[in-house]
């Protein structure tokens, strides 16, 4: 038994090299190290020529994922590699340090640095069990991929085209940050096309530096010309602002967000995407809440997307994992208690004719219809309102249903005008979908059922019809305040539910001075080495 193998056995089994505070994933635990090395009969993992250097290079590349390579001891490993004698066996501390860094990178890419349950809990995600299962899988995969680290890490990353695109955009933004921050735009009058203003050259520089517009004016430098208006409009679209081409207070505030803050925002959303892990193969529906969009994916690729209307801040659309199981054409709408109490009841008390205008029936707890005139609307008691199918029905012509305790679902809406707004956090928590019948067609086709014409006939009949999905389709709602557009350009969304600060604080506790450190005191190594010599 060689000295390094004995030393590894002693260190792994008895040194207590557990993870420190600050990260839910953190460094590999003693149990992880034992499993990793037991599968190798406690032989070194990094003794082959070039293997440690490959790890160092791969650790450096974690910067594109919004992770700090120094949190993975890359500087120390680089120094150890430079000082190492190529003819001598790798020392045990370097060996364990490299393994800790390697496994932590695998876990962080495959699970995220922060446990989402601690900052953005998701209903139905089975997060604890799912994360432990995923972690065990990653540990097994790591043991056999020491000569293909980049390939392993690519597989550990979430299988989402959105992650790859955001990672590439983050790399570009990092490169821009190396030079300098972008210029700020001073307060002043609202800028409208044709105006002359001394702030215009800085505005042009700011937009050009971020890839939005021309670097040179077509006329006088201080004129707010048409190409610059077009650049401002593109900037507004990418930041979910009113796309009017006018530089007012909101647009100027978005222009003046420091580059470092935008980098942090992208890094937070790379983390959120890592929480998605590797979802089961097959079709999947994603609802991007801050982006107010719905995506239909096949094998991680978007094949259809549309605008949505999501819950306003006082009635948030929840984070959840569930499965679409059936849809209802020409649905009735049973009014949820909160909406009845806070929205509809005051209108009925003001004008009882509201019930007839909105085609609402009054039901008792047994579902029996009762006479609205017999209800004391000042204290209505245990009653329900149900809206019949029709043009005014709040669910429109179709609703797609999935199990959840929040009484939310996907549905059509009579409020079509709201889809054109840049800010669409307007619902009571449910998700209103633009052109929902296109989604219905995709779902039914992927369930092995054709029949767009049959669906159209059922819808045209006006009768309430339930259509089951024989193969349930996973649905997830996510909270991404930074993403990319179809061309890979960065898009920043408002933090409508104010969740970014909590995630930023949690991530801050996993990096820099707060990052767990591997401890391998030299006096302990020396004593162990002396013991193996005897």
Residue whose token pair is 């002043």:
188
Beta strands in 347-489 (DSSP E): 360-363, 369-370, 384-387, 398-402, 410-411, 425-427, 431-433, 465-478, 482-484
| Residue-level pLDDT at 89 | 74
Which pLDDT value is given to residue 451? Answer: 66
Mean pLDDT of the region 48-65 = 95
Q: pLDDT by residue (tens digit) across 317-329?
A: 999 999 999 999 9
Q: By the 8 A CB rule, do 177 and 260 touch?
A: yes
- Residue range 47-72: average pLDDT? 94
Whether the CB-CB separation of 30 and 99 falls below 8 Å is answered with no
What confidence tens digit (pLDDT) does each residue in 252-268 have? 999 999 999 999 999 99
- CATH class belonging to 182-257: mainly alpha
Yes or no: say if 397 and 440 are a contact pair by the CB < 8 Å rule: no
Residue with the bigger pLDDT between 379 and 9: it is 379
Q: What is the DSSP string of 430-447?
A: SEEESSHHHHHHHHHHHT
Cα–Cα dist 161/139, whole Å: 24
321 burial (CB, 10 Å; 0-12 / 13-18 / 19+) is: buried
Provide the percentage of residues in the chain whose pLDDT is more than 70.
89
Closest Cα to residue 76, out of 428, 531, 515?
A: 515
Give 418-446 pLDDT, tens digit per residue.
999 999 999 999 999 999 999 999 998 88
Q: What is the pLDDT of residue 5?
A: 66
Q: What is the pLDDT of residues 112-140, one digit of tens each?
A: 999 998 999 899 876 556 788 888 999 99
What pLDDT is recorded for position 11? 62
Calculate mean pLDDT across residues 478-496: 93
- Surface-to-core class of residue 326, CB atoms within 10 Å of its CB (0-12 exposed, 13-18 middle, 19+ buried): middle
**CA dihedral over 4, 9, 15, 19, signed as positive or negative:** positive
* Mean of pLDDT values over 450-471: 84
Pairing verdict, β 369-370 and 384-387: unpaired
Q: How far apart are CA 22 and CA 509, in angstroms?
A: 5
Q: How far apart are CA 99 and CA 45, in angstroms?
A: 8
> Nearest Cα to 296, choosing from 435, 187, 452, 186?
435
Asked if residue 458 has pLDDT above 80, the reply is yes
Q: What pLDDT digit, counting tens, does each position of 89-114 carry?
A: 778 888 989 999 999 999 999 999 99
Which pLDDT band holds residue 14 (cuts at 50, 70, 90)? Answer: low
Give every CB contact of residue 186 below 8 A, 6+ residues apart in sequence.
199, 202
pLDDT band at 299 (very low <50, low <70, confident <90, very high): confident
| Model confidence pLDDT, tens digit, residues 229-249 | 999 999 999 999 999 999 999
In angstroms, the CA 87 to CA 68 distance is: 32
User: What CA–CA distance (Å, rounded) separates 370 from 469?
Assistant: 34
Instruction: State CA 251 to chain mean position distance.
Output: 25
Q: From 298, 266, 277, select the one nearest 489 (Cα to Cα).
A: 266
Percent composition of the chain: helix, strand, coil (DSSP 3-state, to 5): 45, 15, 40
Q: What local confidence, expressed as pLDDT, does residue 457 receive?
A: 83
Mean pLDDT of 339-366: 90
| Residue 204 pLDDT class (50, 70, 90 cuts) | very high
* 306-352 tens-digit pLDDT: 999 999 999 999 999 999 999 999 999 999 888 999 999 999 999 98
- Check residue 446 and give its pLDDT: 82
CATH code for the domain defined by 291-328+398-478: 2.40.440
Mean pLDDT of 491-520: 86
Residue 280 pLDDT > 90, yes or no? Answer: no
- What pLDDT is attached to residue 464? 93
């Amino acid at each position: 038994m060689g000295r390094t193998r004995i030393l590894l056995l002693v260190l792994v089994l008895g040194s207590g090299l557990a993870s420190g505070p600050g990260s839910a994933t953190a460094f590999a635990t003693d149990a992880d190290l034992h499993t990793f090395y037991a599968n190798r009969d406690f032989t070194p993992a990094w003794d082959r020529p070039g293997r440690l250097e490959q790890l160092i290079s791969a650790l450096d590349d974690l910067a594109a994922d919004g992770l700090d390579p120094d949190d993975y001891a890359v500087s120390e490993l680089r120094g150890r590699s430079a000082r190492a004698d190529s003819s001598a066996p790798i020392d045990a501390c370097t060996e364990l340090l490299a393994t800790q860094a390697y496994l932590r990178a695998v876990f962080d890419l495959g699970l995220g640095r922060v446990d989402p349950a601690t900052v953005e809990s998701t209903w139905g995600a089975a997060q604890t069990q799912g994360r432990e299962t995923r972690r065990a899988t990653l540990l097994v995969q790591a043991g056999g991929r020491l000569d293909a680290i980049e390939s392993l890490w690519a597989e550990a990353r979430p299988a989402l085209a959105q992650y790859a695109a955001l990672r590439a955009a983050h790399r570009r933004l990092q490169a821009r940050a190396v030079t300098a921050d972008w210029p700020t735009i001073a307060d002043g009058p609202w800028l409208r096309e044709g105006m002359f203003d001394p702030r215009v050259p800085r505005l042009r520089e700011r937009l050009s530096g971020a890839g939005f517009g021309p670097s040179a004016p077509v006329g006088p430098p201080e004129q707010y010309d048409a190409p610059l208006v077009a650049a401002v409009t593109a900037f507004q679209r990418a930041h979910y602002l009113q796309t009017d081409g006018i530089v007012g207070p909101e647009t100027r505030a978005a222009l003046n967000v420091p580059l470092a803050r935008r980098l942090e925002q992208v890094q937070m959303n790379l983390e959120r995407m890592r929480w998605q892990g590797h979802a089961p193969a097959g079709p999947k529906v994603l609802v991007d809440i801050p982006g107010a969009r719905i995506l239909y994916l096949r094998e991680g690729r978007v094949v259809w997307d549309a605008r949505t209307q999501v819950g306003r801040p006082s009635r948030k659309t929840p984070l959840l994992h569930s499965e679409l199981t059936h849809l209802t054409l020409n649905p009735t709408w049973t009014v949820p208690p909160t909406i009845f109490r806070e929205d509809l009841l005051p209108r009925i008390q003001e004008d009882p004719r509201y019930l007839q205008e909105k085609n609402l029936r009054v039901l008792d707890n047994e579902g029996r219809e009762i006479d609205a005139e017999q209800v004391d609307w000042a204290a209505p008691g245990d009653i329900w309102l149900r809206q019949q199918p029709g043009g005014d029905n709040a669910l429109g012509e179709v609703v797609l249903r999935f199990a959840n305790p929040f009484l939310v679902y996907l549905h059509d809406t009579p409020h079509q005008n709201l889809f054109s707004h840049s800010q669409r956090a307007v619902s009571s928590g449910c998700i209103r979908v633009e052109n929902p019948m296109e989604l219905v067609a995709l779902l039914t086709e992927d369930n092995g059922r054709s029949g767009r014409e049959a669906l159209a006939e059922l819808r045209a009949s006006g009768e309430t019809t339930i259509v089951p999905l024989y193969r349930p389709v996973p649905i997830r709602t996510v909270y991404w305040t930074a993403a990319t557009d179809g061309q890979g350009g960065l898009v920043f969304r408002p933090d409508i539910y104010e969740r970014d600060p909590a995630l930023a604080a949690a991530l801050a506790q996993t990096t820099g001075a707060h990052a767990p450190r591997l401890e391998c005191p030299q006096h302990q190594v020396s004593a162990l080495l002396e013991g193996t010599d005897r």
